[in-house]
Every structure is written in structure tokens, then in C-alpha cells.
A and B are shown apart, each in its own frame.
Chain A
Amino acid sequence: EVQLVQSGAEVKKPGATVKISCRVSGYTFTDYYMHWIQQAPGKGLEWMGLVDPEDGARMYAEKFQNRLTITADTSTDTSYMELSSLRFDDTAIYYCATVKAGRTFDYWGQGSLVTVSS
């Protein structure tokens, strides 16, 4: 059974950095890109970026380009999403997700809530 298990909720101050993990099981980690998706409270889904665990190559959405780092650790089958210079509007649930067959986001983590509060 494929599972993506994310780290827990975080509370951060404006300007801080948050790092969320996503540990996978049930498939070969390097077989699929790992994507990260933001969902602000009561809002829709926004793709943030991805990493290819095979070679570490990354792509980021323009909106997050300067503040986002996505990595993959093949020794622990874990992907990390680090967002810096946090703002109040970064308060959101962050999901990791994989695309299995070149189309849809088939497997999702349970989500990690990040609250930015002073």
C-alpha cells in the first residue's frame, strides 16, 4: 500500500522558515516526482513545485521561486519542503503528492498545517 506520511503542524512567526517532511512507503521513491501543493484556509489548491528524487532536479512555481526549496533524501525515502521568509498569507495546509501515470495526483500525504502568527 502506497503511503505518504507528513510531519505535524507547525506554528511560525513572520520571517521564519518552516521545513515539512513527507516520508513515502509502498513504492520505489525514485520512480515518481514528488510534488508539493498549498491550500490556504477556505481556498483552492496551488501547485508549488516538485523534485525528481532520482537526480534531485527541481521545478518551482514562479510565485514561490525565491523562497522555496524542495529536496529528496533517497536514504530515508523522504521529501522535504522548506519555505522561508514566512508571511501571514503562508498560513495553509501543505500537501505532498505524486503523479503515478503521467496525469493526475494519485497519492497524497495527509497534509501539514502551517500557521504563521506573531
Chain B
Amino acid sequence: DIVLTQSPDSLAVSLGGRATINCKSSQSVLYSSNDKNYLAWYQQKPGQPPKVLIYWASTRESGVPDRFSGSGSGTDFTLTISSLQAEDVAVYYCQQYYSTPPWTFGQGTKVEIK
């Protein structure tokens, strides 16, 4: 099974500041035949199910604000919130769909306001 390890477990960022979350995979999730990274990012607010933010490591889901961006390839990925807003307080998860089953998630990173 692919293990995803996120860092940090939590971070506090000032309003308008930059939040950076890392996700490291135990093996590459880059599919060479189509040059796509099979990695997604989700946002989960309290009392709600997760919501897709990013797929293919860097493609924003429709309707997701452009302050959210994803980068990385192979085994190392980053989710960046360029200018943190109050509504971005949530737990963020990475998830791989390269080698399934099982579909696996990182342990989550909690983002708070400093």
C-alpha cells in the first residue's frame, strides 16, 4: 500500500499569509505513460465531508479559489494557500489514486489562524 505522510500536522498562519503543506508518498505516483501524478488534495471543515480542491497534483477543481495551488511530482507534493482567509480554516488531506485498492490518504494537516 502507498503511505502518504503529511507535514506539518498543524500550522497557524496569519490572515493573508501563506500556508504550505507537504505530502510525501512512499512510492512514486507519477504514471509515466501520461505524465500525470495521481494525487489529490481535499479540504475538510468541521462537521462536513471532505471536498476536492486539487487533482492530478496541480489541477484546481472547478469553483476552487485560485489562492489554492498544488505542485510537485513523483513522491513529493505541496499544497499552497497563497493568502489565507478565515474560511480556509480546515483540515487538509492528500490522497493517492495511483495504486488502488486501497485508496490512501495522508494523516491530515490542520490549518488555523494565528
- Chain B residues within an 8 Å CB radius of A44: 93, 105-108
B interface list, Cβ under 8 A from A = 38, 40, 42, 49-50, 52, 55-56, 61, 93, 95, 97, 101-108
A80 sits at the interface (CB 8 A): no
> Do the beta carbons of B49 and A47 come within 8 Å of each other?
no
Task: Report how far A61 CA is from B95 CA in the complex, Å.
Answer: 16
Task: Report how far A44 CA is from B104 CA in the complex, Å.
Answer: 10
> Do the beta carbons of A104 and B52 come within 8 Å of each other?
yes
A interface list, Cβ under 8 A from B = 35, 44-47, 49-50, 59, 61-62, 95, 97, 99, 102-106, 108-111
Q: Which of B40, B42, B101, B107 contacts A103 (CB 8 A)?
A: B40
> Do the beta carbons of B55 and A104 come within 8 Å of each other?
yes
- Chain A residues within an 8 Å CB radius of B102: 47, 61-62
Task: Report how far A62 CA is from B106 CA in the complex, Å.
Answer: 18
- Chain A residues within an 8 Å CB radius of B103: 35, 47, 105
Q: 14 interchain pairs (CB within 8 A)?
A: A44-B106, A45-B50, A45-B108, A47-B101, A50-B101, A61-B101, A61-B102, A95-B49, A97-B49, A103-B38, A103-B56, A104-B55, A106-B52, A111-B49
- Chain A residues within an 8 Å CB radius of B42: 104-105
> Do the beta carbons of B40 and A45 come within 8 Å of each other?
no
| Closest B residue, CB atoms, query A102 | B97
Known: A35-B103, A47-B103. A103 touches B97 (CB 8 A): yes
Which of A45, A95, A97, A110 lies at the interface centre, i.e. has the most chain B CB atoms within 10 A of its CB?
A45
- Chain A residues within an 8 Å CB radius of B108: 44-45
Task: Report how far A95 CA is from B49 CA in the complex, Å.
Answer: 8
